[in-house]
Amino acid sequence: MFDLRRLWGGKRGSREQAKERLQLILIHDRSSLSPELLDLIKQRILSVLNEFVEIDEQGLAIDLEQTEETSALITNIPIKAVRRNVRA
Amino acid sequence: MGKAIVITSGKGGVGKTTTTANIGAGLAALGQQVALIDADIGLRNLDLFMGLENRVVYHLVDVVEGRASWKKAIIRDKRFENLVLLPSAQVRDKDSVTPEQMKELVTEMKQEFDFVLVDCPAGIERGFKNAIAGADQALMVVNPEVSSVRDADRVIGLLEADGISDIKLIVNRLRPSMVKRGEMLAIKDIVDLLAVKLIGVVPEDEGIVISSNRGEPIALTQSAKAGLAFQNISRRLLGEEVPFVEWHDNDTFFGRLKKLFGME
């Protein structure tokens, strides 16, 4: 039907809004990692690092930080000691 | 050997069961041997849409637990002898079936039918995993509405992670007059957002309510808009090139005017 609001340059149709919101939501949804996957990543990091250093496994934290433009894995790995028998 | 297709959506209430019933009837009308499986354990409904609710004796859980063979449990359709339904159970324990058991059942049924259509429950839990277990292909039912599109995107990701890459999109309950006014997501928007190939567009049609009241799939009604849409999807599933219909409703001012003057 004839929409006067649009003729006077008022509100846009909600279709455009829906599309723009979905574009952002889907980018965000697609880049997020499940807790299971984060856990798996944590285990793999641990097993690699364990060859070289002794790690405080309880203190290890890994998180996904997301802004509108970027995603980053932020991790804090407390080291107890460096293994002496490791050769470079 | 036939093809197993799961009809899924993530979100509830978008028309999965209606779609399953209608594509089943559509394919059967085209002479295919078709089996429908209602995988929504606990909430049985596909039998109602087919008008077969009074004939349910055995169900999916009976088959999986060995109380009846699938051949004994299936109900033959009233209209087509080449269309059968394996109804769902109304047991409360949704975990009574495993994906492995479903896969085995679907694989077995594929030997005897051209199409095995599995009606998936809403959600992405166990019921979803069961429903997709034996599928070769998926039909995603989506409504032109933000939450439905978002959920569909999630489900597409899960299907791909499970190795199902043949995914096609059905946009259901489109209201052309709203799209025209710029107040509803258009087909192109949804296809662009989800990046999945379109196999059908079904316009909103009150005939759907009437057909479910009667237990008669609308795909059998030539004159209904939604019926024609489902018939077209069925034909496309058989590999036929069917052009997409431009839907219009009559509830616009000019539509009503045209109708008044017999121009439509």
pLDDT reported for residue B87: 97
User: pLDDT, tens digit, for every residue of A15-27?
Assistant: 999 999 999 999 8
pLDDT digits (tens, 9 = 90+) for B38-49: 999 989 999 999
CA distance B182 to B28: 38
Q: Is B215 a member of any domain?
A: yes
Task: Note whether B32 and B18 are within 8 A (CB).
Answer: no
Work out the minimum CA distance from A40 to partner chain B, whole angstroms: 16
Instruction: Locate all alpha helices (DSSP H) within chain B, ordered by sequence.
Output: 16-29, 46-49, 60-64, 70-73, 99-110, 126-132, 146-161, 176-180, 187-194, 207-214, 225-237, 253-260
* B252 assigned to some structural domain: yes
The predicted pLDDT at position B13 comes to 94
- Identify the pLDDT of residue B17: 96
Q: Is B172 helix (H, G, I), strand (E, B) or coil?
A: strand
Q: Which residues pair with B200 in a beta bridge?
A: B170
- What is residue B264's predicted lDDT score, i.e. its pLDDT? 46
The list of chain B residues with pLDDT below 50 reads 264
The residue of chain A with its CA nearest to that of B182 is A13
Average pLDDT in chain A: 80
Let me know if residue B149 belongs to a domain.
no
Tokens coding B89 = 């159970």
| A23 vs B contacts (CB less than 8 Å) | 193
Q: At what angle do helices A14-31 and B146-161 cross, to 10 degrees?
A: 30
**The total number of structural domains that make up chain B:** 1
CA distance A36 to chain B (A): 14
How confident is the model at residue B253, as a pLDDT? 59
pLDDT single digits (tens) B89-98: 988 776 789 9
| In-domain check, residue B7 | yes
Structure tokens at A34: 């499940």
The pLDDT, as a whole number, for residue B109 is 98
Q: List the CATH number of the domain containing B87.
A: 3.40.50.300
Position B200 in a domain: no
Condensed to tens digits (0 to 9), the pLDDT of residues A17-67 reads 999 999 999 988 887 777 777 888 888 888 888 888 888 888 888 887 877
Residues on chain A bordering chain B, Cβ-to-Cβ distance under 8 angstroms: 1-3, 6, 12-16, 18-19, 21-23, 25-26, 29-30
Quick check: B182 and A12 CB within 8 A?
A: yes
- Nearest-Cα distance to chain A for B193, in Å, is 7
User: Which residues are paired to B3 by β-bridges?
Assistant: B115
Domain span holding position B92: 3-139+205-260
Helix (H, G, I), strand (E, B) or coil at B144: coil
CB-defined contacts A:B, below 8 A: 50
Write down the ipTM of this complex: 0.84
- Predicted confidence at residue B54, as pLDDT, reads 95
**Orientation angle between helical segments B207-214 and B225-237, nearest 10 degrees:** 80
Burial of B185 (0-12, 13-18, 19+ CB in 10 A): buried
Shortest distance, CA A5 to any CA of chain B (angstroms): 11
Measured CA to CA, the distance from residue B63 to residue B69 in angstroms comes to: 5
A3, A19, A25 member nearest B185 (Cβ): A19
Q: Is B91 within the bounds of a domain? A: yes
The minimal CB distance from A15 to the residues B153, B182, B252 is found for: B182
